[in-house]
Amino acid sequence: MDHAEATAPGEDAARTRGRAAVLAVALGVACLCSCSHAKSPPAASSTRSADRAQVYSAAISEVREYLVVWRERGCPVATREFLVPGGGCDLILRSGKVIFYQPYHWVSSNHFTLMVTLDLHFKGSPGAWNVGLNSRFITFSRTAAQSRYLMYMATGP
């Protein structure tokens, strides 16, 4: 013969609601802890921010140099000197400059991505590049042995 607990009418529903409430509170606390931790990264020191600003400035100087080489010596030469292997183009750059940039992703001073807005104008068809303002995600990478960054340009991250 089975032994069943005797419960008053409605007691099972109340017990279920009570358990659900305890579970909801526990999940809420867990979420609050994990969410607040995820949204609160350690504060960056002013030195670290200043170091990153110097790294970004050096990288943008290379983008500017890349545009000068592209304009003066052509896209194939600029591609060989500044971009990761595998890219190439035959566009003739009439003028180009960096308008704005902002940090997008940081791994280290040897690997990071910036969102860069360029003002580009070409002779002839611009191909896949827009005429005028053009935003690109540029990933900069180098090894300890390299002094110059290799750049990878993309329309998305």
- 97: which residues sit within 8 A by CB, 6+ positions away? 64, 67, 118, 119
For 119-132, the pLDDT digits (tens) are: 999 888 777 777 77
**C-alpha triplet 16, 20, 24: angle, nearest 5°:** 175
For 10-56, the pLDDT digits (tens) are: 544 444 334 333 333 332 323 323 333 333 334 444 558 888 999 99
pLDDT bucket at 107, cuts 50 / 70 / 90: very high
Q: Which of 154, 138, 148, 156 has the alpha carbon at shortest distance from 65?
A: 148
